[in-house]
Amino acid sequence: MRVNFIKFKTKPENEILELIKDKNNIGIVICNGCYEKLSLENFSYQCKEIINLLTTRNKNLLFCLKLNFLCNSYFNKQKIITAYNDYPYVEVVGVVSCGIGVQFVADIVPKETISFTDSVQPSYNSTAGVIQHGINLNNLTFCATCGECYLNYTKGICPIVYCSKSLLNGPCGGAKNGKCEVDKTKDCGWEKICKKLENEDLTSFMNSVLIRNHNIMNYSQHKQNVDNNLEIRINNFYGGVHPVEKKEITEDIAIKKFPETQFLTLFLLQHTGKPSIPLVKEGDYVKIGQKIAKKDGLISSNLHSPVSGKVLGFKEVLHPKLQKKLPAVVIENDFKENITDEIKPCSEWTKLPKQQIIEAISEAGIVGLGGAVFPTHVKLQPPKPIHTLIINGCECEPYLNADNRIMIEHSEEVFEGVKIIKYLIEPKKILLVIEDNKPQAIQKLNEIKPEGVEIVVLKTKYPHGAEKILIKKLFNVYIPYDKIPLDFGFLVQNVSTVFAIYNAVVKGLPLIERIVTISGEEKIKKEYGNYKIKIGTVLKDILQKCYNKEFLTDEFKIKYGGYMTGTEIEDFTTSIIKGCNGILIIKKYIEENHQNKCIKCGRCVDVCPMELEPLEFVKCYQKGSLSEANRYNIKTCIECGCCQYVCSSKIPIVDIIKKEKSIME
Amino acid sequence: MFITKPKPEKEILDIVQPYEKLFYLICNGCNEVYVSIKDALNYSKILEKKHKVTVEILDYICNIDYVNKYLSFLSKEIENQDALIIFSCGIGVATLSSLVSEKKVFGICNTFYLTGYKGYNLPYEGKFDCALCGSCYLNYTGTICPITSCSKSLLNGPCGGAKNGKCEVDKTKDCGWEKIILKLKNLNKLDLLNKQIFI
């Protein structure tokens, strides 16, 4: 049996006509509904009925606003106000939605608001307010949210939901042939329970008298729940999720050096912009730190050899982030650790001119190590003056601890790096932002923080680490998709990048290694931890060392990068690039599949930090009309993965969005 | 929308007392609601004092299709256990107990209702609610719902009386009908209430 989850039906025709009999200019706000099969049609039948009715009676229909999840006042408010302001002479605004939508519209529209619909319970008949969870539209299980669960005594059949009177004991009129007195087609809930209990020892059940405590849901208790929930949900910014952190797996493991491996694969494109131009050829001997590829133009980056040895040649390897085959240099390590003499430490950088420091950073091939891999020397030469420097130590991704360990073990170096950036761009204000799930790092940083640096501790919530969200949260400044924070006078640098800047300027080291967290499920653990890994180390070697391969079966998937934003990888010949901050192996229970049906639960809308409607992108993809996706601001999407994480139908929304974006380009 | 809160420790320990090996399932579905995984994991520590506990974190246990798949993955582990305990809303418990017939299934949470049917209305949370009563009165009551804003959901009949605009049930709760009268007075539409008797 399929449950009918439609929450509202239109009122009788004569009642509607009576309500609008002396009104001519009418506006309509329609809710697209929730918990139903996503229809590709533009109007549901309720709306068609009403529009037909109004047009046949010669009413002047001024606007007809169709909105997703009308009850989500957060982003629907502005749309309704705009529509209303366009037609200020509207006499009455009719609403097709459940009661919440009607009350919400009435609250923001100063004209008379009327409801065209009666809201109805989803098909189940019970005196209890039954919640429709709707995670599966074919599921007949309900919960009455009574606040006192009896399922442990009744074998998983809820008496509150299935008894028409929600009885636990007391005056029932009696069931006949297993059917309830209220309706001859309704099964008696208690008879079902008794049948299930037949083979059980009933003494404990009989001894425990169930009495419902109605006071458990009293007003003040309820209000407190609502307030707590509200505080947690919009505390930092609209949307966002709280994934299971699992940081404790590698939190206390100090940074170790990953053992040298024999073959390294270095991609020529490890950064945003043009690929680097190779400077070596097959058979050349290279030393550690030797430049093997130079930047091509301004937005590009240098590449250095992380080991000493022979260049074996070039080959096309699957790029882990871009997911296509790209050229890479293969170097065979001779384990002699010959270091090039180009490396010149410089402890007195304050005496150098600014241009020379930027030159050093550019030479060292430093890019944004948080994941965006934008060349750092470009960021440090902003077109506009920078007023605020934000050092991003949020690391909101689950499992990862790379930045956390850097802040604990190398906090002095980080602050020295901050001083270098401060010298270069002279900001008015410097903030170091960190989430409250890293108490060790917070303590360490507070102990030694230099003057002028403010440490901001935020409540943990994903995705704080995204720079646009961070700026929105801290300064309430909204940065559109085609702008970057630099245009607004903000410079955001990741902690790892700051550490790399310190290494480049003070120690003269090019970017040849980075800290990577290697973690995952307990079952396949061999040696998890935070490793200092050479760029170019092949994934196969890492799997060999850190994971117990005999347990590595089909039920696991490898994530390159973080848990939320990482890409799933099946080709182990790919290698560590500059922007890689973690390798994870996690369980997959259910295949993500875009064939699954969206049931309009609205959770993706609820968690999108950019205030978009991800379900519309899926709809556009299924329809094949990309122009429509553009209307829903697909370019604003930061691909944080929140929608995919909560999706109750396990639709790979982010993959679909990425595909749509690439087709558009 | 709803939230879950764990039941008192004693109640759960009494129930699971006869079972040695427990399989502890934590539902992390509806991830956008703050279901505190820390609370859930703390509970496993309490249970570990006297029982052997295997912990597994899943999501959307309410979805019967998913649960079937989870069970096919976990069947070996579950076979060795004496009982299943579940940290989820009532739907999760009911769904699992309908599928796992050979093992005892216990829920350890109470499920509480949150105003606002889907928990939306973020800036307004707790302000609007709909009881899905089937006959909407909003058109006659100044779009303030008497069913959800009156403690007794009264349309007429025996109210104990409001004092200073507050309900007899709780001194911090506003009287819904007083709000309705004031709003209609402002709109100059008090006659709407005289037109018909709501039943």
- Residues in a beta bridge with A92: A26, A112
pLDDT confidence band for A462 (50 / 70 / 90) = confident
- pLDDT category at A348 given cuts 50, 70, 90 is confident
A134 confidence band (pLDDT: 50, 70, 90): very low
- Tell whether B138 lies on the interface with A, counting CB pairs under 8 A: yes
B58 has a chain A CB within 8 A of its CB: yes
C-beta of residue B8 within 8 angstroms of C-beta of residue B38:
no
B74 to chain A: nearest residue by CA? A589
**B28 interaction partners in chain A (CB closer than 8 Å):** 244
* pLDDT value, residue A38: 61
User: Which residues of chain B have a CB within 8 Å of the CB of A138?
Assistant: 64
Q: Nearest CB to B132: which of A19, A121, A157? A: A121
pLDDT above 60 for A2: no
Is B49's pLDDT higher than 60?
yes
The reply to whether B140 touches chain A by the CB within 8 Å rule is no
Kind plus residue range of the DSSP H or E element containing A621: helix A614-623
The reply to whether B171 touches chain A by the CB within 8 Å rule is: no
> What are the residue ranges of helices labelled H in chain B?
9-16, 37-48, 64-79, 90-99, 146-149, 176-187, 192-195
A370: closest CA among A508, A500, A521, A541? Answer: A500
**Average pLDDT, integer, range B188-198:** 78
Residue A412, pLDDT score: 92
Q: Which long-range contacts (CB under 8 A, 24 or more apart) does A609-612 make?
A: A609/A237, A609/A238, A609/A239, A609/A240, A609/A463, A609/A466, A609/A469, A609/A638, A609/A640, A609/A642, A610/A239, A610/A468, A610/A636, A610/A637, A610/A638, A611/A74, A611/A75, A611/A238, A611/A239, A612/A636, A612/A637
- The residue with tokens 């699954």 is A596
Query: B87: nearest CA in chain A?
Result: A149
A11 neighbourhood in chain B, CB within 8 Å: 136
Residue with tokens 């029932």: A172
**A503 secondary structure, DSSP code:** I
DSSP A527-566: S-EEEEEETTBBHHHHHHHHB-GGG--TTEEEEES-TTTP
Best of A15, A21, A149, A600 to substitute, by most chain B Cβ atoms within 10 angstroms, is A149
Asked if A59 and A108 touch (Cβ cutoff 8 Å), the reply is no
* pLDDT for residue A98 is more than 50: yes
Subunit contact A100:B120, Cβ cutoff 8 A: yes
Residue A96 pLDDT exceeds 50: yes
**Cβ of B31 and A149 within 8 Å?**
no
Q: Is A452 a residue whose pLDDT tops 70?
A: yes
Q: Which residues of B touch A233 (CB under 8 A)?
A: 32-34, 122
Mean local confidence (pLDDT), A220-241 = 79
Structural tokens at position A217:
């849901």
What pLDDT is recorded for position A1?
Answer: 39
Inform me whether the pLDDT recorded for B194 exceeds 50.
Answer: yes
A323 φψ region: left (φ > 0), alpha (ψ -120 to 50), beta (else): left
Which pLDDT score is estimated for A140?
66
pLDDT at A414 over 90: yes
Q: What is the pTM of this model?
A: 0.87
- Which residues, at least 6 apart from A74, have a Cβ–Cβ distance to it below 8 Å? A238, A611, B120, B122, B123
> What mean pLDDT comes out for the span A654-664?
89
The answer to whether the Cβ–Cβ distance between B124 and A107 falls below 8 Å is: yes
In the block, tokens 């930047």 appear at A295
Whether the pLDDT of residue B17 is over 60: the answer is yes
pLDDT at A388 over 90: yes
Average pLDDT over every residue of B124-151 = 81
Q: Which residue has the higher pLDDT, A43 or A22?
A: A22
Q: Which residues on neighbouring strands pair with residue A119, listed in sequence order?
A: A8
Query: Which pLDDT belongs to residue A413?
Result: 92
What's the rounded mean pLDDT across residues A570-598? 86
The answer to whether the CB atoms of B143 and A100 lie below 8 A apart is: no
pLDDT of A137 = 62
B192 to chain A: closest CA residue: A19
Residue A543 Cα, gap to closest chain B Cα (Å): 24
State whether B136 and A133 contact (CB < 8 Å): no
Q: Is B106 on the interface with A (CB under 8 A)?
A: yes
H or E segment at B131?
none
- Contact between B120 and A73 using a beta-carbon 8 Å cutoff: yes
Which residues of chain A make contact with B127, given a CB cutoff of 8 A?
Answer: 103, 107
- H/E segment holding residue A15: helix A13-19
Q: What is the pLDDT of residue A428?
A: 92
> Is the per-residue pLDDT at B119 higher than 70?
no
Compute the residue count for chain A. Answer: 665
Question: What is the pLDDT, as a whole number, of residue A142?
Answer: 76
Q: Which residues in chain B have their CB less than 8 angstroms from residue A106's CB?
A: 138, 142-143
Lowest mean pLDDT among A224-228, A377-381, B86-90: A224-228
Q: Compute the mean pLDDT over every residue in chain A, rounded to the nearest whole number.
A: 86
pLDDT digits 0-9 by tens, A432-449: 999 989 999 999 999 998
Chain pair A-B, CB pairs under 8 angstroms: 244
Instruction: Using an 8 Å CB-CB cutoff, list chain A residues near B6.
Output: none
Asked if A528 and A506 count as a contact pair (C-beta separation under 8 A), the reply is no
Distance from CA of B98 to the nearest CA of A (A): 7
Residues of A in contact with B30 (CB under 8 A): 603, 646
CA atoms within 13 A on the CB side of A235: 17
Q: How far is A238 from chain B (nearest CA, A)?
A: 9
B128–A104 C-beta distance less than 8 A: yes
Positive or negative: CA dihedral A86, A87, A92, A96: negative
A79 and A67 Cβ atoms separated by less than 8 Å:
yes
